[in-house]
Structure 1
Amino acid sequence: MTVLYQELAPPLINGVRKPKKPGGYIDSSADITYSLKHQHHSPISVVTPVSSPNPQKDEDWCFGDTETEIARALKKGATHLWANTILFADHPLQTAESLTGMAQTVKVVGQPPKLVELCDDKAFVNNLLRSRGGFTLPEARDMIDEEDLADVLDTDLRYPVVGKQVRGRGSYGVKVCRSEEELIDHGRDLLGEDAYVIVEDFLAG
């Protein structure tokens, strides 16, 4: 087993770029690897970049998610790759020709990159759930530019509302806006980050 962290910059997908976490999850990837190696009951054999990783150095514990780094992990004997990273259809785990011959023997812990790219789009998922029916969803309005922002502000919004990116990362970019001024400021900040924004009704609790 080896754990991959995010070295690759997320691509633009339909004009939207998912924000990269500073460090690319190297800290949590190191934590996962350390925990796997030091389980009391049944420690798991892990492959690390160095033979004696230092608990104080995250980079000693995990590999980047580039094709070169993945190949290096496999060369060192990894048979399972834990993808603790942002996945997308053109990710090396999906497209790298150097991995094609290993497809039957190497296992990936994580979701299929092509599926992640599709379902990482909150607007797509919300609309899919609405079309299926039977789900209670907050009212939502989408915006991709200043004109859309003006249109959203002209609707009958009941504050507070939630503004967030369609392709967000955790709670990054998610904000409860309690006034029109807050929504304008937050919306403009997100739109300045290659973001497609959703404004949703706030659900108390």
Structure 2
Amino acid sequence: MTNAGIKVAIVYQAHPAPAVKGILKPTKPGGYADSGADIAYALKIQQINVITPAPNPYVDKDTDWVFPDTEHGIAHAIEKGANCIWLNTVLYADHPIATFLNRGIQVVGQHPVLSGMYDDKWLTAELLKDNELPVPPAELLSYEAFTAGTKKVHFPIVAKPIRGRGSEGVALIRNKQEYHAVITDMFQTDRYGTTIYLEKYLPGEEVTITVMPPGEYQIHGKKEKKELPWCLPAVKRFNHHNGIAPYNGTVAVIHNSAVLNDNEEASMAIQQLYQQCAQAGKLVGMKAPIRIDCRADENGNYFLFDLNMKPNMTGPSRLHRHDQDSLTALAARKIGWDYPSLLENILAQHWGL
């Protein structure tokens, strides 16, 4: 594992991602500039060469630390000396980074084509199902089918944006009245596009697992080479709001999440889940961490219900952000990585064409 010679710039999402077949992905206010600044600051204090748009960035001004993910923004970072771009943004097939990848720039993040493809919950669930991985029963609901009233629905169900972002827009629906109110609102807000994802509600325990890509890592002071995707310790979620884990922008994850203890982690169910999540990571061609949310049914059987190609990467590197641990950062602490160590290990998996 080495970051020698790396000069890294972090980019954030400057514009909404384009619609794909009428499906929209909601944009986070600020476009991940906050977590991008967390990353940049943490790496800088670790003596990593971090390129920033401001020559002397203010610790609490996010945009002093990160470049927009536009062609001009990325070019600006490279002009200032960056040879590696950390893609703390939403990716899609013709994202501006593709141009620079073809010119030999190194990146931290997913391949833009694969990230855009597997941001689609339906397509990803079908891929996992086709490879005999457990996913909850689900179906698509178009605006036309909803307004025609032709869809037969069995409650309880969970409604989700097809290209979602965390738990934003996700709702548990228990009856016909809630169904009409929730789905009408989802279509009327025009944030998610013309089709909604409906999934069987799982009432059991929820855990989230960060899958790391193959590569060389520094763990407990020793260099370890991982030939295949591998999992950080699982984090359990609790204090759900109406059956759904609240969006981390509303409730900090340190208030509703905890790493499994050794006994919980040693269970056959969790160990099997690690194998399944690592296999899912391989299937989607991961090149950077992904996060998979899993939940048990009424019989205690776990299902992979949400695969996130861009896990949240906030962290408590700046004093005014002391409570901003991400689920991945919580998991990493159990293997001896603080937030800066986690980021250094992720940075070391940079890649190029």
Q: What's 1:181 paired with?
A: 177
Alignment equivalent of 1:71, drawn from 59, 72, 75: 75
Q: Match for residue 125 of structure 1?
A: 124
Q: What is the aligned partner in structure 2 of residue 135 from structure 1?
A: 133
Q: Distance in 1 between matches of 2:169 and 2:194?
A: 10
Q: Counterpart in 2 of 1:107? A: 106
Write out per-residue CA displacement over residues 137-172 of structure 1, whole angstroms, 9 at most, x where no aligned residue: 2111211214246333x23x132x110011011111
TM-score, structure 1 as length reference: 0.88
Structure 1 residues 4, 33: closer, same or farther in 2, change over 3 A? same
Aligned residues: 193
Q: Is the 8 A contact 2:155 2:173 kept in 1?
A: no
Residue number among 16, 19, 41 corresponding to 2:23 in the alignment: 16
Matches within 5 A, 1:17-166: 17-39=24-46, 43-94=47-98, 96=99, 99=100, 103-104=103-104, 106-132=105-131, 134-148=132-146, 150-152=149-151, 154-155=152-153, 157-159=154-156, 161-166=157-162
Q: Cα gap change, 1:189/1:146 in structure 2, threshold over 3 Å: closer, same or farther?
A: farther
Equivalent position SS for 2:50: coil
For residue 164 of structure 1, give the secondary structure of its aligned residue in structure 2. Answer: strand
Shift of residue 88, structure 1, vs aligned partner: 0.4
Farther-moved stretch of structure 1 (56-65 vs 185-194)? 185-194
Paired amino acid for 2:178: E
Task: Quote the Cα distance in structure 2 between the aligned partners of 1:100 and 1:85.
Answer: 16
More strand by share: 2
> Which 4+ runs in 1 deviate beyond 3 A?
none
Partner of 1:53, secondary structure, is coil
Q: 1:110: Cα distance to partner?
A: 0.3
Aligned alpha-carbon RMSD (Å): 1.6
Give, in whole Å, the separation in 2 of the partners of 1:107 and 1:151: 50
Q: Secondary structure at the match of 2:26?
A: coil
Q: Percent identity?
A: 39
Q: For residue 100 of structure 1, report the CA deviation from its aligned partner.
A: 6.5
Relative to the length of structure 2, the TM-score reads: 0.52
- Cα distance between partner residues in 1 of 2:24 and 2:120: 11
In structure 2, list runs of 5 or more residues that go unmatched: 1-7, 206-353
Is 1:6–1:25's contact at 8 Å kept on the other side of the alignment? yes
Deviation at 1:190, TM superposition (A): 2.1
In structure 2, the residue matched to 1:167 is 163
